[in-house]
C-alpha cells in the first residue's frame, strides 16, 4: 500500500511518466483530434500508453487530461463533457497504477487569455479549473499536477481552484524560454517565490526546450525556495522529418541530466514532449543508484517588489497628446497603406496634408486583408520623411501577445508615439479566405499591454528597466447594435488606460449627440473623443458602407442625396458637402476629428476640414484648420 505522496518524496525521488501526446501520435492519432476525448472513445489505447510507462519504471502516472477544461474542449464541441472525460481519465490511470503507484491529475493551461489581456476574469478561470479538478478528484487521483503554465496568474487560479476542491498534494510547473524566464517574462527567482508563497507543495518546470536549459533554471530556483522541485523536460527541440516531429535527445542523454536534476534538489523527475517509455526506463536506472539529497535549508521566499515607473505626463508624449491635453481641436486624416512595396503616393499625400495644416495622419491597419505594406512600416516612413505626426492604428488580429509586445517596443524605438488600439477584423474579410486568424488579446487587452509598457512593465507585469510613452487611443462605435455592450467595453478601455477615442464614421449629428449623452450618463470617465467623418464618393460607395461595413450606418436622407448625385464629380462634391455640414454641426460636441480620404483622395479630406477655418473666421478667431478649441 502506497504511503502519502509527500512523505514518499521526503525519502527519495520519484519517477514520473513521459509524454502522452507523443505516444498517441505514434500510434496513429492525428494532432487534429482531441486527445482527452480518447478516454471515452478509445480507453484501451490510453491504458496501453499508461502501461508502457509503468513497465518502464514510472511511479507517478499522469492522467490523459492535459486539455480537458471546458475552454479547450469547446473547440471540439465537447465543452459539456468535462466531468465525463476527466473522470474517465482518472479511472483509466488508476486501473493501470493499481494500489502501489501514484496517479497525478494533469491540468494544463486554459488556452484563452485572462484579464487584463483578455475577456476571461480570474474568477471565471478559477471556476473552469475547479470544474476539471473536481472530476479528477472524484476519479481518485492522489495529487494534482498543474503544468506547462506560461502565465503566473493563471497558474495561481489553478492552484486556488485545487485548494478549493480538496487538500491533495499540489505540483505546479511553469514552462520557460532559453533564458529561464517564462514566455510572459517572469524570472525563475520571481515565479518560484510566488508559487512558494501561494502554497504549492512542489515547484517545477516542464516542457520548454530541453534538459540543459531546465537544469540551469532549476539551479536558480533552488536558491530561493526550500520546497521540493520537479523537472519534466522535453526531449530537446523537435525536428520535422517527412512531416513528423522527431525529438533528438536520446534516453541516455536525458538520464544523465536526470542525475543532475536530483543533485540540485529535484524529487519528481520525468519527461514531457518527445519522451517515451525508453527515456523513462533510462531515467529510472540512472536515478535508482543515487542517494537521497539532504533537505535544503529554508530560503528567503519574500517576493521582490515590482518596480512600476511613473508614466510620462500626457502632454509630453507627443504633439498630438499636447493638443488634446490643452483642449485644442486636432484634425487628423486617414492614409491607407499601399498595395505592394512603393509608398511614394502615400508619402506625397502626407506632405500635402501637412502643408494644408492637418495635425496628424492615421495609418489604418489592414494587416492580412491583402498584399499591403504594414501600417507600422508606412507610419515610420512617413514620420521620418514628412515630419508630420502619425497615429498608428494597431490591430490585434494576426498577432500573438508576445509579437504584439515586440512590435510596440519596436514602434517606440522608431519614434512612433501615438497608437490607436483596435481589435481588427478576421482575415476571412480579406482576399485570402483560407488564411487563419490569431487573436490572443482584443483591444481592451491591447490597451492594458500599452499601459503596462508605459509603466515599465512587460505583458507579464515584470519590470523592464525602461518604459514607453505612448498616447493610447481606442475606437468607439455610436452605431453599435448592442449599445450597452459597446458602452461596457468602452468603459473597460478607459479604465485600462485609454487617453482618447475615435468614433467610427458618423453621418448623423443627432445620433452622435445621443450617444455622447449615453457615455456621460453611464458614468464613464471623460476622455477626448474625436469624431470620424467620411466624405462619400458615390451612391454605390454609400450603399457599400451602409450594408457591408460593420459599425457604419448612413441615414436615409443622406442615401437619397447621394442617389440623386449618383456618380462622378457631382457625387464627390455632394459627399464633401454632406461631410462639411456634419462637421459644422458636431464640432461643439467632440474634441477633434478624423477625416477619411476615400480611395486616396486627400483633397476631399482637406476640403471637409476647411469648414472649421470658415467657422473660426466667422467667429473672428484665428484662421487655422487645426487650432480651434472645442466647446463642451
Counting Cα atoms < 13 Å in the Cβ hemisphere of 521 gives 7
State residue 113's pLDDT score.
85
State residue 24's pLDDT score.
93
State residue 484's pLDDT score.
94
Cα-flanking dihedrals φ and ψ of residue 565, to 5°?
-75, -30
Nearest to 342 by CA among 381, 376, 307, 314: 381
State residue 91's pLDDT score.
97
State residue 610's pLDDT score.
95
Give dist(CA 129, CA 107) in Å, integer. 8
Enter the DSSP assignment of 33.
S
Q: Which residues is 171 bridged to in the sheet?
A: 145, 202
Task: Compute mean pLDDT per 10 residues along the chain, 632 residues long, and list them.
Answer: 89 94 90 94 97 96 97 95 98 96 97 85 96 98 97 96 97 93 90 96 90 93 95 75 60 91 94 92 86 57 70 96 96 94 96 96 74 91 94 87 91 96 66 47 91 92 91 96 93 95 96 96 95 96 89 92 90 96 96 95 96 82 46 40
State residue 292's pLDDT score.
56
Asked if the peptide bond before residue 116 counts as cis, ω within 30 degrees of 0, the response is yes
Whole-angstrom Cα Rg for the chain: 29
State residue 237's pLDDT score.
63
Q: Tell how strand 244-247 and strand 238-241 pair up.
A: antiparallel
Q: Which residues is 529 bridged to in the sheet?
A: 501
State residue 178's pLDDT score.
87
Domains and CATH numbers, the chain: 5-288 (3.20.20.330), 324-618 (3.20.20.220)
State residue 294's pLDDT score.
60
**Which set of grid coordinates corresponds to residue 492?**
473597460
**Which set of grid coordinates corresponds to residue 223?**
536558491
Give dist(CA 259, CA 629) in Å, integer. 72
Amino acid at each position: 500500500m502506497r504511503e502519502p505522496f509527500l512523505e514518499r518524496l521526503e525519502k527519495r525521488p520519484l519517477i514520473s511518466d513521459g509524454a502522452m501526446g507523443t505516444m498517441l501520435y505514434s500510434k496513429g492519432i492525428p494532432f487534429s483530434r482531441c486527445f482527452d476525448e480518447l478516454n471515452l472513445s478509445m480507453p484501451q489505447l490510453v491504458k496501453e500508453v499508461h502501461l508502457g510507462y509503468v513497465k518502464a519504471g514510472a511511479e507517478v502516472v499522469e492522467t490523459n487530461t492535459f486539455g480537458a477544461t471546458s475552454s479547450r474542449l469547446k473547440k471540439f464541441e465537447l465543452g459539456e463533457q468535462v466531468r465525463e472525460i476527466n473522470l474517465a481519465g482518472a479511472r483509466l490511470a488508476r486501473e493501470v497504477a493499481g494500489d502501489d503507484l501514484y496517479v497525478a491529475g494533469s491540468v494544463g493551461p486554459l488556452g484563452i487569455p485572462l484579464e487584463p489581456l483578455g475577456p476571461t476574469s480570474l474568477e471565471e478561470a478559477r471556476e473552469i479549473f475547479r470544474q476539471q479538478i473536481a472530476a479528477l478528484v472524484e476519479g481518485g487521483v492522489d495529487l494534482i499536477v498543474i503544468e506547462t503554465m506560461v502565465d503566473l496568474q493563471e497558474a495561481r487560479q489553478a492552484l486556488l481552484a485545487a485548494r478549493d476542491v480538496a487538500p491533495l498534494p499540489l505540483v505546479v510547473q511553469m514552462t520557460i524560454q532559453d533564458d529561464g524566464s517564462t514566455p510572459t517574462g517572469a524570472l525563475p527567482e520571481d515565479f518560484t517565490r510566488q508559487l512558494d508563497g501561494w502554497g504549492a507543495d512542489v515547484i517545477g518546470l516542464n516542457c520548454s526546450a530541453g534538459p540543459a536549459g531546465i537544469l540551469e533554471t532549476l539551479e536558480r530556483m533552488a536558491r530561493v525556495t526550500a520546497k521540493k522541485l520537479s523537472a519534466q523536460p522535453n526531449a530537446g527541440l523537435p525536428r520535422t522529418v517527412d512531416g513528423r516531429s522527431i525529438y533528438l535527445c536520446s534516453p541516455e542523454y536525458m538520464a544523465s541530466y536526470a542525475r543532475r536534476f536530483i543533485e540540485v534538489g529535484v524529487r519528481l523527475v520525468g519527461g514531457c514532449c518527445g519522451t517515451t517509455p525508453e527515456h523513462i526506463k533510462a531515467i529510472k536506472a540512472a536515478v535508482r543508484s543515487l542517494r537521497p539529497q539532504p533537505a535544503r535549508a529554508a530560503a528567503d521566499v519574500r517576493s521582490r517588489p515590482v518596480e512600476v515607473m511613473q508614466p510620462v505626463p500626457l502632454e509630453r508624449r507627443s504633439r498630438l497628446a499636447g493638443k488634446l491635453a490643452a483642449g485644442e481641436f486636432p484634425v487628423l486624416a486617414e492614409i491607407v497603406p499601399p498595395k505592394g512595396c512603393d509608398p511614394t503616393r502615400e508619402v506625397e499625400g502626407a506632405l500635402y496634408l501637412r502643408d494644408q495644416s492637418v495635425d496628424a495622419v492615421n495609418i489604418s491597419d489592414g494587416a492580412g486583408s491583402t498584399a499591403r505594406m504594414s501600417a507600422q512600416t508606412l507610419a515610420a516612413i512617413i514620420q521620418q520623411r514628412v515630419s508630420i505626426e502619425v497615429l498608428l492604428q494597431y490591430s490585434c488580429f494576426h498577432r500573438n501577445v508576445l509579437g504584439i509586445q515586440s512590435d510596440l517596443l519596436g514602434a517606440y524605438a522608431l519614434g512612433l508615439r501615438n497608437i490607436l488600439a483596435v481589435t481588427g477584423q478576421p482575415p476571412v474579410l480579406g482576399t485570402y479566405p483560407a488564411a487563419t486568424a490569431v487573436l490572443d488579446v482584443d483591444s481592451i487587452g491591447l490597451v492594458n499591454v500599452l499601459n503596462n509598457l508605459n509603466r515599465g512593465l512587460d505583458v507579464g507585469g515584470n519590470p523592464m528597466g525602461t518604459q514607453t510613452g505612448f498616447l493610447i487611443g481606442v475606437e468607439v462605435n455610436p452605431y453599435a447594435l448592442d449599445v450597452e455592450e459597446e458602452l461596457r467595453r468602452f468603459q473597460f478601455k478607459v479604465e485600462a488606460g485609454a487617453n482618447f477615442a475615435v468614433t467610427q464614421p458618423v453621418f448623423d449629428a443627432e445620433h452622435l449627440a445621443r450617444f455622447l449623452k449615453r457615455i456621460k450618463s453611464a458614468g464613464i470617465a471623460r476622455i477626448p473623443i474625436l469624431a470620424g467623418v467620411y466624405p462619400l464618393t458615390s451612391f454605390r460607395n454609400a450603399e457599400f458602407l451602409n450594408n457591408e461595413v460593420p459599425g457604419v450606418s448612413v441615414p436615409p436622407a443622406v442615401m437619397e442625396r447621394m442617389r440623386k448625385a449618383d456618380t462622378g464629380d457631382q457625387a464627390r462634391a455632394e459627399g464633401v458637402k454632406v461631410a462639411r455640414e456634419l462637421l459644422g454641426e458636431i464640432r461643439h460636441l467632440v474634441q477633434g476629428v478624423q477625416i477619411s480620404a476615400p480611395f486616396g483622395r486627400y483633397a476631399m479630406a482637406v476640403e471637409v476640414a476647411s469648414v472649421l477655418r470658415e467657422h473660426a473666421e466667422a467667429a473672428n478667431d484665428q484662421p487655422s484648420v487645426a487650432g480651434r478649441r472645442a466647446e463642451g
